[in-house]
């Protein structure tokens, strides 16, 4: 399947497009006058996007990610938790 559809094409193929994004987790752009104006994405993908935004909006989580990327995070073996 294509990755973008005109709004007219999307209207006529909507049930199939919804099934496809639900199955694959993909996304389709919806064009109006050759410009993508909207996207059709699966619920699972939207939930992942929302979760990512929530994590990045949390200052402590964002700081932990920055520390990890900078190599400043220490990891221990799980067995060390029992000591």
Give domain 1-41's CATH number out of 3.40.1620, 3.30.1380, 1.10.3470, 1.10.10. 3.40.1620
Query: Rounded to an integer, what distance in angstroms lies between the CA atom of residue 43 and that of residue 21?
Result: 9
Per-domain boundaries in the chain: 1-41, 43-72
**How many residues make up the chain in this entry?**
83
CB 21 within 8 A of CB 41: yes
Q: What are phi and psi of 58, to 5 degrees?
A: -85, 115
pLDDT at 8 over 80: yes
pTM for the full predicted model: 0.68
Q: b/e for 11-28, b at 16 or more Cβ within 10 A? A: eeeeeebeebbeeeeeeb
Mean local confidence (pLDDT), 16-33: 94
């Amino acid at each position: 399947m294509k990755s973008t559809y005109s709004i007219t094409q999307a209207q006529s193929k909507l049930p199939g497009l919804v099934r496809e994004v639900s199955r694959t987790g993909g996304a389709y752009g919806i064009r109006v006058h050759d410009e993508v104006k909207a996207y059709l994405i699966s619920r699972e993908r939207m939930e992942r996007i929302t979760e990512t935004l929530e994590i990045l909006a949390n200052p402590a989580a964002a700081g932990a990610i920055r520390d990890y990327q900078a190599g400043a995070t220490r990891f221990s073996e799980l067995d060390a938790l029992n000591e």
